Structure 1
Amino acid sequence: MTAAELKLDLINRIANLEESRIIEEIKSFLDFEQDTTVFQLSDEQKERLLKAQNDEILTEDEANNEIEKWLQEK
Structure 2
Amino acid sequence: MEAKGKTTVSTTDRSRRYLREVRSELKKVVWPTPRQTLSYTGFVVSFSLLVALIIMGLDALFNLGLDHFVR
Q: TM-score, normalised by structure 1?
A: 0.27
Please state which structure has a larger fraction of its residues in helix: 2
Query: Which structure is higher in RCO with an 8 Å CA cutoff and minimum separation 6?
Result: 1
Higher-Rg member (1/2): 2
